[in-house]
């Protein structure tokens, strides 16, 4: 069995601050990390591998420095890694991204020459874009079933899986489906382990990150990068803080009274 894990290198968003003077993002010193839910994906792949004979393959699309994220995946225990990197991929929306990923998965399956079952694991969404679209679009292109928002997963047998999908605050649906399949996972599915020292050494000395460009994938430029994208960013702006900001003054009793008065004027009460 092959287990593909799609990962994205993202900026550590929670560290991002806005420069109040220029109203722009302060990027200095922001580390690049593996998107957190993708790490849960790697962890799940490794867990499946403990139970079954499987090869874990990490794939990422991004600039050349995304290699670092793939090395980390290798250090965690992934067997092979592929980086789709080419200026021709830049500016891709989710349609164009999922197309490039689909081409790479087809190529890897083709090259292996074995007729193997496979599972694709994605993080449900990335913390920078938050679209949650690449997974389902990838599944659609490969014409395989999908289960998204997965919080629990098990292989039923060699042919099928059972997964718990969170679809409402109060409801979870348990779905059974057949391989090959794509699942997208939530953070509560597991706790990713840190790589071991020998894992890290292997990732740099024993294992490889294979780079694939548009040519290697035989990609039609009409369907990748900016040109292959249907959506485009028209405008980017920093949100204005809405409305007035009133700091109340006086004793605690006075402030409480004033607040109630204001909330009454605002028709909250």
Partner 1 sequence: MSIRIDDELCTGCGSCVASCPYGGIEIIDDKAHITEDCNLCGACVEACTVEAIILEREEFKVKRVDISKYKGIWVIAEHYKDKIHDVAYQLLGKGRELADILKVNLTLVILGANFDNLLDEFSYYGVDEIIYVKSKILKDYYSDLYVKVLTELISKNKPEIILIGATPTGRDFAPRVAKRLNAGLTADCTGLDIDAETRNLLQTRPTFGGNIMATIRTPRSRPQMATVRPGIFKTPEKVKKEIKIRKIDYDFKEKDTVSKIVKIITKEKVTVNLEEAEIIVSGGRGVGSKENFKIIEELATTLNAEVGGSRVAVELNWIDNDHQVGQTGKTVSPRLYIACGISGAIQHIVGMQNSDIIVAINKDENAPIFKTAHYGIVGDLHKVIPSLIKEIKKVRAEETI
Say which residues have a Cβ less than 8 Å from residue 122's Cβ, sequence separation at least 6: 5, 6, 38, 41, 134, 135, 138, 182, 183, 184, 185
CB of 265 to partner 1, least distance (A): 10
Q: Is 131 in the site for partner 1 (CB under 8 A)?
A: yes
Contact 172, 208 (CB under 8 A): no
CB of 208 to partner 1, least distance (A): 21
3-state secondary structure of 263: helix
Q: Is 40 in the site for partner 1 (CB under 8 A)?
A: no
Q: Is 264 in the site for partner 1 (CB under 8 A)?
A: yes
Choose between 26 and 201: whose C-beta lies nearer to partner 1.
26
CA 199-41-173 angle, 5° bins: 150
Choose between 208 and 250: whose C-beta lies nearer to partner 1.
250
Name which of residues 46 to 85 contact partner 1 (CB under 8 A). Answer: 63-65
Span interacting with partner 1, options 41-49, 53-61, 71-79, 238-246, rule CB under 8 A: 238-246
Selection from 104, 5, 122 nearest residue 55 by Cα: 5
Selection from 137, 63, 51, 34 nearest residue 94 by Cα: 137
- Mask: binding to partner 1, 90-129, rule CB under 8 A, as x and -? xx-xxx--x----------------------------xxx
Q: Is 222 in the site for partner 1 (CB under 8 A)?
A: yes
Span interacting with partner 1, options 38-46, 51-59, 74-82, 260-268, rule CB under 8 A: 260-268
Q: Is 215 in the site for partner 1 (CB under 8 A)?
A: no
Q: Is 256 in the site for partner 1 (CB under 8 A)?
A: yes
- Mask: binding to partner 1, 162-191, rule CB under 8 A, as x and -? x-xxxxxxxxxxxxxxx--------x----
Selection from 240, 237, 256 nearest residue 248 by Cα: 256
> Considering Cα of 145, then 137, then 38, then 171, what sign does the dihedral take?
negative
Q: Is 231 in the site for partner 1 (CB under 8 A)?
A: yes
Say which residues have a Cβ less than 8 Å from residue 235's Cβ, sequence separation at least 6: none
Q: Is 234 in the site for partner 1 (CB under 8 A)?
A: yes
Place of tokens 């220029």: 22
Place of tokens 């197309």: 99
Choose between 55 and 128: whose C-beta lies nearer to partner 1.
128
Q: Is 243 in the site for partner 1 (CB under 8 A)?
A: yes
Helix (H) or strand (E) holding 138: helix 134-142
């Amino acid at each position: 069995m092959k287990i593909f894990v799609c990962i994205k290198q993202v900026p550590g968003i929670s560290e991002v601050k806005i420069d109040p003077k220029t109203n722009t993002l302060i990027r200095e010193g922001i580390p690049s990390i593996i998107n957190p839910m993708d790490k849960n994906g790697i962890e799940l792949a490794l867990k499946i591998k403990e139970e079954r004979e499987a090869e874990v393959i990490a794939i990422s699309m991004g600039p050349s420095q995304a290699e670092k994220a793939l090395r980390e995946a290798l250090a965690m225990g992934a067997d092979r890694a592929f980086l789709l990197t080419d200026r021709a991929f830049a500016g891709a929306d989710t349609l164009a991204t999922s197309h490039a990923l689909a081409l790479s998965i087809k190529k890897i399956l083709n090259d292996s020459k074995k007729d193997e079952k496979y599972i694709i694991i994605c993080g449900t969404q990335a913390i920078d874009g938050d679209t949650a679209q690449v997974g389902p679009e990838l599944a659609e292109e490969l014409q395989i079933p999908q289960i998204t928002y997965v919080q629990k997963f098990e292989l039923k047998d060699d042919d099928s899986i059972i997964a718990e999908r969170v679809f409402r605050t109060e409801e979870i649906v348990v779905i059974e489906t057949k391989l090959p399949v794509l699942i997208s996972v939530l953070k509560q599915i597991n706790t990713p382990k840190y790589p071991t020292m020998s894992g890290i050494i292997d990732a740099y000395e024993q294992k490889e990150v294979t780079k694939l460009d548009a040519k290697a994938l035989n990609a039609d430029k009409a369907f990748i990068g900016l040109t292959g994208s249907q959506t485009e960013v028209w405008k980017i702006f920093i949100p204005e803080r809405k409305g007035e900001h009133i700091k109340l003054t006086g004793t605690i009793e006075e402030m409480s009274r004033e607040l109630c008065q204001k909330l009454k004027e605002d028709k909250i009460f």
